[in-house]
Amino acid sequence: MSSSATSAGPEHGAADVESKPVIAVVLVAAGSGQRLGYGMPKARVPLGGEPILMHALRGIVASGVATQVCVALPEGDGALRQLCDDFRTELVDGGPLLTLVDGGATRADSVRSAMSALESGTQAVLVHDAARALTPESVFHRVADALAAGALAVIPVMPVVDTVKTVEATTDEDARIAPEVVVGTAPRENLRAVQTPQGFDLATLLKAHEGAAGFDAAQAAAITDDAMLIEMLGVPVHAVRGASQSLKITTPLDLIIAEGLLEGPLGARWVEG
Ligand code: CTP
Ligand code: MG
């Protein structure tokens, strides 16, 4: 990691590829879940009989990658706080330290809030969406392994199945025909859908978020993941294979798919597809 970066180039922080950094997981669970439409924070919505947050926590702990898990919760949500406190008692000796913080107004605010509560000595951080509650252990391992091999930033990705086009709003005249018109098609073989956990050298991610502190509301809204901030620093972001089970539970349809993953022939949550 960066602390040992004496002989590596700017894109690699580790001189010793065998060294394993001390990793914390930041789990962002402070969103309101508007699109799921349950009238409660998404982390509390039941999935297979348990709140979504519990699945996310169990997945992280099962992976064994982290010495600390810092969860950003909706401010003042006593039920989720209690859930985490109960889960803490289930953790065996040698399990990760579980820390709780209040999240912020945006996802990035929640990430920053959680980063401020990391133990000293933390070298790398995996930022994970609680909404990706069924992420297999193998994805955590691939991200952690890339960090151990010297990456300063690594993201899990999936190939894109749809052809993706760029559009613009149509002018007054064409608006009679359709609201938008196509202006380009990106070559699909180069496109990737991005998931979490996203792994970073901690110092690099802190620097990236410092840069974002002065963003106006429009700029802040355009930042949809942490890797974008790293790209702005000019630091390479490495990509490893994600998993279809890591889907982000966003809409009611996603919740049905997640329920199906738990009950269906794929069976256990941590089986890789
Ligand atoms: N998140 C967060 N703090 C926020 C906003 C989002 O911690 N202020 C977290 C969510 O809890 C989620 C992840 O970021 O785990 C991805 O966000 P998203 O899927 O958009 O969740 P919500 O913001 O809760 O959903 P919606 O946008 O539909 O309201
Ligand atoms: Mg959101």
Q: Is 234 left (phi over 0), alpha (psi -120 to 50) or beta?
A: left
* pLDDT value of position 267: 55
Any idea of the CA torsion for 158, 112, 258, 222, to the nearest 10 degrees?
-60
Helix (H, G, I), strand (E, B) or coil at 148: helix
* pLDDT value of position 8: 40
200 vs 213, which has greater pLDDT? 200
139 vs 7, which has greater pLDDT? 139
Which listed ligand is nearest to 133 at the C-alpha? 1
Q: What mean pLDDT do residues 115-137 have?
A: 97
* pLDDT value of position 159: 97
Is 14-270 a CATH 3.40.50.11540 domain?
no
Q: What is the per-residue burial (b if ≥16 Cβ within 10 Å, else e) of 49-69?
A: eebbbbbbbbbbbebebbbbb
Domain ranges for the chain: 14-270
Q: How far is CA 39 from CA 33, 113, 172, in A?
A: 8, 24, 38
Instruction: Tell me if 251 CB under 6 Å of ligand 1.
Output: no
Which listed ligand is nearest to 30 at the C-alpha? 1
Q: Give Cα 168 to chain centroid, integer Å.
A: 29
* pLDDT value of position 92: 82
For residue 129, the CA-to-ligand 1 centroid distance in Å is 8
Which listed ligand is nearest to 45 at the C-alpha? 1
17 vs 237, which has greater pLDDT? 237
From the CA of 35, give the closest atom in ligand 1: 28
Q: Is 70 left (phi over 0), alpha (psi -120 to 50) or beta?
A: beta
Distance CA 74, CA 197 (A): 20
Tell me how long the chain is: 273
Q: What mean pLDDT do residues 226-245 have?
A: 96
- Residue to mutate, 107, 112, 127, 225, ligand 1, most ligand atoms under 8 Å from C-beta: 107
The pLDDT tens digits for 93-123 are: 889 999 999 999 999 999 999 999 999 999 9
- List the structure tokens of 66: 């982290």
The pLDDT tens digits for 59-91 are: 999 999 999 999 999 999 999 999 999 999 989
Cis peptide bond prior to 197, omega within 30° of 0: yes
For residue 226, the CA-to-ligand 2 centroid distance in Å is 14
Q: What mean pLDDT do residues 25-50 have?
A: 97
Give 19's pLDDT tier (boundaries 50, 70, 90). confident
Give 42's pLDDT tier (boundaries 50, 70, 90). very high
Q: How far is CA 204 from CA 28, 60, 207, in A?
A: 19, 22, 5
The identity of residue 254, as a single letter, is D
The pLDDT tens digits for 155-164 are: 999 999 999 9
Percent of the chain at pLDDT > 90 equals 80
Q: Is the dihedral of CA 138, 144, 148, 153 positive or negative?
A: positive
Find the farthest-apart pair of alpha carbons in the chain and give their distance in angstroms, rounded: 68
Instruction: Tell me if 26 CB under 6 Å of ligand 1.
Output: no
Mean pLDDT of the chain: 91
Q: What is the 3-state secondary structure (H, E, C) of 149-211?
A: CCECEEEEEEECCCCCEEEEECCCCHHHCCCEEEEEECCHHHCEEECCCEEEEHHHHHHHHHH
- List the structure tokens of 14: 């580790």
* pLDDT value of position 14: 46
The identity of residue 197, as a single letter, is P
Query: Looking at the predicted structure, is the pLDDT value of residue 13 above 80?
Result: no
Instruction: Tell me if 102 CB under 6 Å of ligand 1.
Output: no
Please, what is the end-to-end C-alpha distance for the chain in angstroms? 31
Instruction: Tell me if 165 CB under 6 Å of ligand 1.
Output: no
Instruction: Tell me if 201 CB under 6 Å of ligand 1.
Output: no
| Range with lowest mean pLDDT among 72-86, 194-208, 254-268 | 254-268
From the CA of 105, give the closest atom in ligand 1: 8
Query: Looking at the predicted structure, is the pLDDT value of residue 16 above 80?
Result: no
Instruction: Tell me if 104 CB under 6 Å of ligand 1.
Output: yes
Report the nearest-CA residue for atom 8 of ligand 1. Answer: 106
Instruction: Tell me if 197 CB under 6 Å of ligand 1.
Output: no
| Range with lowest mean pLDDT among 10-24, 149-163, 199-213 | 10-24
For residue 53, the CA-to-ligand 1 centroid distance in Å is 12
For residue 33, the CA-to-ligand 2 centroid distance in Å is 7
For residue 107, the CA-to-ligand 2 centroid distance in Å is 7
pTM: 0.91
Instruction: Tell me if 129 CB under 6 Å of ligand 1.
Output: yes
- Residues sharing a CB contact under 8 Å with residue 109, sequence separation 6 or more, in sequence order: 103
